[in-house]
A = this chain, B = another copy of it.
């Protein structure tokens, strides 16, 4: 059957404790011994039993992915990335979907963590941006990695992956400006998400860079939903001072804007350019296909999970933070205005 630590020990001619030391990357193992053990591990195709490790040790070998995100594509991509890091490092992944807006969200997560002996969690927005939540988690000695919008980590307490949304938003906006647009609307995502703030920042920066004034009345509140895209775009297009382009905080909003435009017989991109953000698969399935910003979600997730696991295992904390900038993808929903 499956090889155990005893088999490896016998095969390598050492005690099981030494094998354990090697498997856990502990110091004070002679290089020659380590090699012997590793050879035995290889030839027996040994991998430690998670159950036994969990039972015997004080450390845990599971991490959890806590999320509350309606975007299935994003979640799946994240999950795949985390999964592949876990696989490599012999960790286990617990999936924990939950409702960030629930009052006792911390208690829920707390229970889950206690029940399952979880060593660390991967946090994406909105959790990664909830100071209270993060503090409480840290207080109970849970490791974590935070993936969040921004350029610099809010603190040094955990590894962080920063998504430079403002730069990406600046690029998109600049693209719009280069096409000749001057009256550009901004449909925001949920107000309390960093990403909304960052994206607005980039939007403004592009205007500044190009010496163009941001039109306050074209700044609309939204909430990352299709419906908010529909409503906001409708409102915008009913005004006398219509925009010639719309920057949508995500692809859902953009899809909603597209829908509204269609409803009101506004031709895209001839009469109105619309840009999204996120590069969801469906941004290639709308008519016209959406100009948007792409980020390598599963790569980010894998990177994040590795940072977390290394932190847990106390191995080389060289890279404690990392920054990604989503890249502009120009498709068919943006163009110069032809009227």
A226 to B94, CA, bound (A): 32
A263 to B281, CA, bound (A): 19
Within 8 A of B (CB), among A86-128: 92-95, 97, 114-117
A55 to B259, CA, bound (A): 56
4 A-B pairs closest in CB distance: A51-B54, A72-B72, A72-B76, A51-B55
A133 within 8 A of partner (CB)? no
User: Which residues of chain B come closer than 8 Å to A2, judged between CB atoms?
Assistant: 114-115
User: Which residues of chain B come closer than 8 Å to A252, judged between CB atoms?
Assistant: 285
A263: nearest residue on chain B (CB-CB)? B287
A80 within 8 A of partner (CB)? yes
User: Which residues of chain B come closer than 8 Å to A72, judged between CB atoms?
Assistant: 72-73, 75-76, 281
A80 touches B51 (CB 8 A): no
| A93, chain B: closest CB distance, angstroms | 7
A281 to B281, CA, bound (A): 13
B80 touches A97 (CB 8 A): yes
A92 to B284, CA, bound (A): 36
A255 within 8 A of partner (CB)? yes
Residue among B73, B79, B255 making CB contact with A95, cutoff 8 Å = B79
User: Which residues of chain B come closer than 8 Å to A73, judged between CB atoms?
Assistant: 72
A233 within 8 A of partner (CB)? no
A178 within 8 A of partner (CB)? no
Interface size class of A (residues with CB under 8 A): 35 or more
A258 touches B284 (CB 8 A): no
User: Which residues of chain B come closer than 8 Å to A52, judged between CB atoms?
Assistant: 51, 55
A86: nearest residue on chain B (CB-CB)? B95
A94 to B54, CA, bound (A): 17
A47 within 8 A of partner (CB)? yes
Flag A236-259 by CB within 8 Å of B: 1 or 0 each: 000000000000000010011011
**21 A–B contacts from the bound complex (CB under 8 Å):** A2-B114, A2-B115, A47-B115, A50-B116, A51-B52, A51-B54, A51-B55, A51-B117, A52-B55, A55-B55, A80-B97, A92-B94, A93-B95, A255-B282, A259-B285, A259-B287, A262-B287, A282-B282, A282-B285, A286-B286, A287-B287
A40 within 8 A of partner (CB)? no
| A259, chain B: closest CB distance, angstroms | 5
| A277, chain B: closest CB distance, angstroms | 16
| A70, chain B: closest CB distance, angstroms | 8
A197 within 8 A of partner (CB)? no
A79 to B116, CA, bound (A): 18
A255 to B51, CA, bound (A): 46
| A49, chain B: closest CB distance, angstroms | 7
| A141, chain B: closest CB distance, angstroms | 13
| A91, chain B: closest CB distance, angstroms | 12
A329 to B338, CA, bound (A): 39
A83 within 8 A of partner (CB)? yes
A285 and B256 in contact (CB under 8 A), knowing A80-B97, A95-B93?
Answer: yes
| A63, chain B: closest CB distance, angstroms | 13
A77: nearest residue on chain B (CB-CB)? B72
| A107, chain B: closest CB distance, angstroms | 13
